[in-house]
Amino acid sequence: MLAVHAWRQFLNMNQAHRMSLFHARTNAWPARLSRAARTAMAVSAVAVLAACSSPVQLMPTPLKFTTGVVDPFEYKEARGGSTSIPLLYATNRAVFLESRQPFYSIFPSDTLRMGVARVQIGDGTLDWEQLRLLSTSASQRGRPVLSLERMDELVALTPQSDAETSPEAQAYFALINDALAASQHRDLIIYVHGFNNAVWRGTAQAAQFHHFTGRQAVVLAFLWPSAGSLLAYATDVRTARASVPAFARLIEMLSRNTNAEHINVLAFSAGARIASEGLATLAQPKEGETREALRARLRLGQIYFAAPDEDTYRFVTDLRQYIDLTERVSLGANLDDRALRFAARHQRASRAGRPSADDLTEEQVDFVNAASQRLNFDMIWVDPRNIPDLGRRAHSFWFSNAWVSSDVLMQFLWHKAPAERGLQEGFTAQGMRFWTFPPDYEQRVSDLMRMR
């Protein structure tokens, strides 16, 4: 019971604000709602998610690139760069018409399709030097819009297809290996987008992440078939579950056919459903395979769940199965996340990004408590009170806030623990560990950049 008390104590560590790692579930979904209440809920849901349908503007420059200490685009591959970004992608969306440039539907299929997308930053009047200045400036004025220019599908693998014998698949993996060889970082990062993401939005989010790695990291967007509609949350929940096999198949193929030193995963919001269950699926060894051999085969590195919209119980159940196969698993959580509040009511269960200990067994709580100290599981408290320019109920903080995006980048590019990225350690009375952004975080980041 001490572990349960430790987790709940985090809720009350600041009595004035009443925040915790795990919220008590006081907002049970009522059996019957009045028409007025249902209408109010619908209006609230639209307000919560409306930001998801706006154009994707270039995210605020991560703090680590506004210190003036380092130029993220100093390497020769980025010099003389373009405002157009090529991006690897994979999708299990069905197509309306088979072609080199297909039109992807909102329906899932059993065929895994892979190709290269091209995302444009700005309207064509922005040149590289202007973009470079914007990308190292803290100013948020005049941020250009990102738009999807084209998608070239290079391979389509049905469930019966063998990637090992497919010339198209092997050519695509060779393309990835060429990108890895040219990169300063030998890792492959898989981005899994969230709810209400049309193809253009998912590619834009992944492209700007790639851009702010100094265009050095190799990023692949997994574009699962979200309906791209504010009112299709229930549909996206089902589609996300249906996309788990495709995601697991993708990771397995990439680990088998590419030279990536590590395969990293950045999963946002509802994308956590796919990544969490997919990683648990991959954690099942083949007959006669040892745990060490499985870890070496998959080469899973940094796993980051940003505002994960997955049942807390299911998330922890999955985590126990795969955490030992990874280098590090992080969970970024704003405990006032309004989108996850809505999701919890809709799903009648707390979300991993806004969790409740009431949804866990005592054994699960003991596991997470131990994992936070000994298994490289980092709970990162994204507290809007301590982070500049972060809305109290923010959901998309991993890319919309300069402090948080800076930490995400440092984890993926540096493979460092939170303390080595400038975060501040905290403990409950019973010893549960968590991490926060300290008031002097900006100075800490400047010092870290100088040390490198």
**Six token digits for residue 15:** 């009595």
**Six token digits for residue 412:** 């993926």
Asked if residue 22 is part of any domain, the answer here is no
The mean-pLDDT minimum among 97-101, 122-126, 385-389, 437-441 falls in: 97-101
Segment 122-146 shows an average pLDDT of: 92
Segment 186-203 shows an average pLDDT of: 96
Longest dimension (CA), the chain: 62
Residue 428 has pLDDT above 50, yes or no: yes
Q: For residue 439, what are the domain limits?
A: 33-451
The mean-pLDDT minimum among 316-320, 329-333, 423-427 falls in: 423-427
> What would the 3-class secondary structure string for the chain be?
CHHHHHHHHHHCCCCCCCCCCCCCCCCCCCCCCCHHHHHHHHHHHHHHHHHHHCCCECCCCCHHHCCCCCCCCCCCCCCCCCCEEEEEEEEEEEECCCCCCCCEEEEEEEEEEEEEEEEEECCCCCCHHHHHHHCCCCCCCCCCEEEEEEEEEEEEECCCCCHHHCHHHHHHHHHHHHHHHHCCCCCEEEEECCCCCCHHHHHHHHHHHHHCCCCCCEEEEECCCCCCCCCCHHHHHHHHHHCHHHHHHHHHHHHHHCCCCCEEEEEECCHHHHHHHHHHHHCCCCCCCCHHHHHHHHCEEEEEEECCCCEHHHHHHHHHHHHHHCCEEEEEECCCCHHHHHHHHHHCCCECCECCHHHCCHHHHHHHHHHHHHCCEEEEECCCCCCCCCCCCCCCHHHHCHHHHHHHHHHHHHCCCHHHHCCEEEECCCCCEEEECCCCHHHHHHHHHHHC
Segment 73-91 shows an average pLDDT of: 81
Whole-model pTM: value is 0.89
**Residue, of 76 and 19, whose pLDDT is higher:** 76
The mean-pLDDT minimum among 43-47, 202-206, 273-277, 404-408 falls in: 43-47
CB 7 within 8 A of CB 365: yes
Residue 72 has φ and ψ, to the nearest 5°, of -65, -15
pLDDT number for residue 429: 63
What is the pLDDT confidence band of residue 430, given thresholds at 50, 70 and 90? low
Asked if residue 56 is part of any domain, the answer here is yes
Asked if residue 6 is part of any domain, the answer here is no
**Residue, of 73 and 155, whose pLDDT is higher:** 155
Asked if residue 18 is part of any domain, the answer here is no
Q: Rounded to whole angstroms, how far apart are CA atoms 118 and 100?
A: 14
What would the pLDDT profile of 334-385 be if each residue is shown by its tens digit?
A: 999 999 999 999 999 999 999 988 899 989 989 999 999 999 999 999 999 9
pLDDT number for residue 194: 95
Asked if residue 48 is part of any domain, the answer here is yes
Indicate the DSSP class of residue 63: G
Q: Rounded to whole angstroms, how far apart are CA atoms 355 and 7?
A: 10
pLDDT number for residue 346: 93
pLDDT number for residue 70: 78
What is the pLDDT confidence band of residue 79, given thresholds at 50, 70 and 90? low
**Six token digits for residue 371:** 């994992």
Residue 83 has pLDDT above 60, yes or no: yes
Mean pLDDT, the chain, as a whole number?
87
**Residue, of 369 and 452, whose pLDDT is higher:** 369
What is the pLDDT confidence band of residue 63, given thresholds at 50, 70 and 90? very high
pLDDT number for residue 358: 87
The strand order across the sheet containing 328-333 reads 146-157, 104-121, 84-95, 218-222, 188-192, 263-268, 300-306, 328-333, 377-381, 433-436, 424-427
pLDDT number for residue 67: 80
Asked if residue 331 is part of any domain, the answer here is yes
What is the pLDDT confidence band of residue 431, given thresholds at 50, 70 and 90? low
In percent, how much of the chain has pLDDT > 70?
A: 86
Segment 166-191 shows an average pLDDT of: 96
Calculate the CA 237 to chain-centre distance.
17
pLDDT number for residue 186: 94
Residue 1 has pLDDT above 90, yes or no: no
pLDDT number for residue 44: 46
Contacts of 341 (CB under 8 A, 6+ apart): 27, 354, 393
pLDDT number for residue 174: 98
Segment 400-414 shows an average pLDDT of: 97
Segment 407-423 shows an average pLDDT of: 96
What is the pLDDT confidence band of residue 80, given thresholds at 50, 70 and 90? low
Segment 107-131 shows an average pLDDT of: 95
Strand 433-436 versus strand 424-427 pairing type: antiparallel
pLDDT number for residue 37: 44
In percent, how much of the chain has pLDDT > 90?
A: 74
Residue 2 has pLDDT above 50, yes or no: no
What would the pLDDT profile of 215-260 be if each residue is shown by its tens digit?
A: 999 999 999 999 888 788 899 999 999 999 999 999 999 999 999 9
As for how many domains the chain has, the answer is 1
Asked if residue 4 is part of any domain, the answer here is no
**Residue, of 74 and 433, whose pLDDT is higher:** 433
Asked if residue 1 is part of any domain, the answer here is no
Residue 330 has φ and ψ, to the nearest 5°, of -120, 145
Q: Rounded to whole angstroms, how far apart are CA atoms 227 and 204?
A: 16
Residue 52 has pLDDT above 90, yes or no: no
pLDDT number for residue 74: 78
Instruction: Give whichever of 180-189, 324-333, 440-449 has the largest mean pLDDT.
Output: 324-333
pLDDT number for residue 228: 83
What would the pLDDT profile of 65-74 be if each residue is shown by its tens digit?
A: 888 777 888 7
